[in-house]
Amino acid sequence: MKIEFIERNYDIGNRLKEIITKKINKLDRYFGDDATARVVCKLENKTYKLELTITNKGLLYRSEVTGENMYDNIDLALPKIERQIIKQADKRKDKFKVGAFDMPELLFLNEKPEEKKKEIYKKKSFDLVPITVEDAKEFMEALDHKFYVFLNAETGLVNILYTRGDGELGLIECNY
């Protein structure tokens, strides 16, 4: 697995890099050589944040952990990733290494996660009317929603305006 390290307001250091690499490489059990891991380490307001994203054959696994130090963060992030892998195992066996799930023991989890089937509870439809991003912000605020889907009057593309984890706004532009 190829591992990319990104530092944002934080110096990872060789020792931490070696520890993270060693622990992430245990996931080679599930993935082939074409898998890539992206590790972002950052310091925000005296809090250490680790983001781990693994991509493999079109699938994405992501974990974001905030804590008092990076060493603990990697130990919290990896079980989250493994939980996502296990949940995908039955549905997408073709995306993993042959025999990846033959061994009964798990790498970072104590027990296999319980699978909950989610059904579509509610379905809505609405007409997309071209509006500006500024109008979308106002509508989202007025509705008190976490996201708002709209047709961008300037680009003609479907956009999604959403509230990020840090409270700021994000904009997704859908290309089709």
Q: CA–CA separation, 37 vs 23, rounded Å?
A: 12
CATH of the domain at 13: 3.30.160.100
109: in domain: no
Q: What is the CATH number of the domain that holds 144?
A: 3.30.505.50
Q: Report the distance separating Cα 103 and Cα 105, nearest Å.
A: 6
* 134, 135, 151, 152, 153 from 130: Cα distances, Å: 12, 10, 5, 5, 4
What is the chain's pLDDT, residue by residue, as a tens digit (176 residues)?
899 999 999 999 999 999 999 999 998 888 878 899 999 999 988 899 999 999 988 788 999 999 999 999 999 999 999 888 887 766 565 556 565 555 566 667 666 666 677 788 888 888 888 999 999 998 888 888 899 999 999 999 999 999 998 889 999 999 88
Q: How much is the pTM? A: 0.58
Q: Which amino acid is at 71?
A: Y
In a domain, 113, yes or no: no
- The number of distinct structural domains making up the chain is 2
